[in-house]
Chain A
């Protein structure tokens, strides 16, 4: 819209202007004209109130078609334009741009759909023409009530925020940074990488014959993580959380709570002297209690930033134990890397777009008592990953209670695809089970291996080929029905797997293929970022097919397993997509936020019904001239109009979809002008 025109409209008090409507009926080649008598529609339209000119043309959306409109706006001094053609979801932007070029406000354009909603779904020309006339009448009835509107525009803070430093968040942050935008990368753990650095190898193994060909998780992930730490555009906040967020697209204000690591990563040389003197030993959660670690420790050789960290929950300096007043590690560190007095701090930042990549939790197998999850010979797949990883507690040797298993059973769909509870498929378990069966075969060539499965889902690139290969490695796959009874029972030191329809299988190792579940604090994070969750508890995308990365909050995007279980390949797709979506915002000079916002008129009594109705917290009650009234924030309003229908006094209205405009169309419905 041009400055010149806006000025003209404001001065011309549009309400007082006599509407001068031009109506343009499109043939769309034969798409409309074959079923609708467009000449008759045009003839009829020319007689409708305020219509100055009505024309029929072969292709309205073509350049000559648009020029027809532009020329008429000038020649006939039109101040409203109605085009009857295809769906506005297709060409409304085209015609809006055309009227703007001719100096009209885009909101003075109205579109009637006589193709998708008429010519394409009817056969008889007579009745289709009658209907097309009615559709045009509705639009012509609305047109005089259209008002020139200007969308609110906001500037953009050209800084990104990525929440979650797993492989999804790291990918997203690197993509944003590589496009030249600074980005804050916030990770709760003291290291980047999330779950992936605790895995062994990643399916599908590209070359099964070799022991390690780059599919080993730490080997290929750690360099990725280091790239993020070394990127000058990425501000890495480990051991940190987003504690507060407000604002809106392009203009968020975020508070990041940084908990101290107590070790300066730039001074730490990884000599390990601190760990040697540390008197505190605790179970290592990352190894699911299969190993111990000290209170000052290196989380993993794969962890980045590459440094020791101090766990102040267990450190005896903080708990009042042996080190109280005199921390042994501080004395032991010859490089002065440990600052035991480090304090938590809050970083405040302004950001324009956000990628939420907070990941998922592992399904808690303790709910499956029939599978004996606490038995020493039964473990979950994430636990198996630890004993098969060369960085794990057994250095990659498959040992259960110190001995090598000889009979291994895998049970799929544990906590997935259930009638109640987690009804969804976790999408990775079939493939990691195949990979783990392969791992057992490679490490223990004589082991007996049985996989209990319900379906095998190998839909990814190279997946089915890998699965077939594993089938040929003397791995027995036994199918069972989802509803069928499957249990693990004790049998001396070992266990027996009992499955309906199959012989019992005695095993000295049972691996439960547990799926993914939403993070335990997903509800809290959801509220913090004003996003939604689907029935399964994962974060909800704006549209499952067309907008799978967006949330309903503009400027907030999803990546990785916080949205739904997915493998690393799909996670990387989504992370790069989320970064691209975020950069779309960060690179916009200004954001235009739509014109159709709600507003309360002077009859508002401040009852607050609308405030309660609004899903976007766009309405607040404020005092104005001594009375409390509803005030709509144009920038937060998404134009759904739900508050208007909820308003008991009729004082809530919506621009561009006013009650008067809708009522005029309804009147035209009832009128018998045909």
Chain B
């Protein structure tokens, strides 16, 4: 499994985690190349459907990164995200998806080191889990 290079998608909110990613860049904090970022205004915008779609399309892991609880630019958007993904991650097991493929985490605009660590750790986790085989299952189920 050492050669496996996972394909990972990260949803970052515009105000905290995307800014943390920028700051990590400014600080030249080296990270694995596996993670690609899609910017949304708030982590609260991320529908569970987006995650399912990503997994069905063969993405190996999905990160949802928002502002810390209490610091949400939209006051409570991340509270909604948290509630939603706590329930959602319980369903993943029933769908044959290891819940570790999805991670919800927080990084403030100042937390570049923490951001880089999340990216690195999550990439390691997905490498250990191996390729996502939900894509094939999903195709069979919907065929």
Contacts and interface: CB of A to CB of B under 8 A. Distances in A.
Contacts of B81: 645
A611 interface: no
Contact of B33 (A130, A639, A646): A130
A672 B59 CA distance: 11
Contact of B44 (A131, A534, A645, A667): A645
B40 to A, nearest CB: 6
Nearest to B10: A117
A100 to B, nearest CB: 21
A122 B22 contact: no
A138 B36 CA distance: 9
A644 B36 contact: no
A127 interface: yes
Nearest to B7: A669
A113 B37 contact: yes
Interface string B28-45: 111101001111111011
Interface stretch (A362-370, A394-402, A658-666): A658-666
A135 interface: yes
Nearest to A639: B41
Contacts of A128: 33
Nearest to B80: A642
A671 B57 contact: yes
A564 to B, nearest CB: 15
Interface in A631-672: 638-642, 644-646, 654, 657, 659, 662-663, 665-667, 669-672
For chain A, give the interface size range.
35 or more
A127 B35 CA distance: 12
A267 B98 CA distance: 81
A89 interface: yes
Most buried by A among B14, B39, B40: B39
Contacts of B39: 88
Interface string B98-122: 0000000000011000001000000
A131 B33 contact: yes
Contact of B57 (A89, A638, A639, A670): A670
B36 A669 contact: yes
A667 B57 CA distance: 6
A121 B24 contact: yes
A179 interface: no
A120 B76 CA distance: 32
A665 B56 CA distance: 14
B28 A135 contact: no
Interface in A528-563: 532, 534-535, 542-543, 545-546, 552
Contacts of B24: 116, 121
A626 B70 CA distance: 40
A427 interface: no
Contacts of B25: 87, 115-117, 120-121
Contacts of A670: 7, 54, 56-59, 135
B15 to A, nearest CB: 8
B53 A535 contact: no
A615 B18 contact: no
A669 B73 contact: no
A75 to B, nearest CB: 30
B59 A669 contact: yes
B129 interface: no
B63 interface: no
Interface in B42-88: 42, 44-50, 53-54, 56-59, 70, 73-77, 80-81, 84
A596 interface: yes
A546 to B, nearest CB: 8
Given A116-B25, A669-B54, A131 B36 contact: yes
A552 B58 contact: no
B81 to A, nearest CB: 8
6 tightest A-B CB contacts, nearest first: A670-B57, A116-B25, A641-B45, A642-B44, A640-B74, A640-B42
10 contacts: A87-B25, A534-B70, A546-B109, A640-B77, A641-B44, A645-B46, A646-B80, A665-B38, A666-B59, A669-B9
Given A117-B22, A120-B25, A534-B70, 9 more contacts: A128-B33, A535-B70, A640-B42, A642-B42, A645-B48, A665-B38, A666-B50, A666-B53, A669-B59
Interface of A: 87-89, 113, 115-118, 120-124, 127-128, 130-131, 134-135, 138, 532, 534-535, 542-543, 545-546, 552, 596, 613, 615, 638-642, 644-646, 654, 657, 659, 662-663, 665-667, 669-672
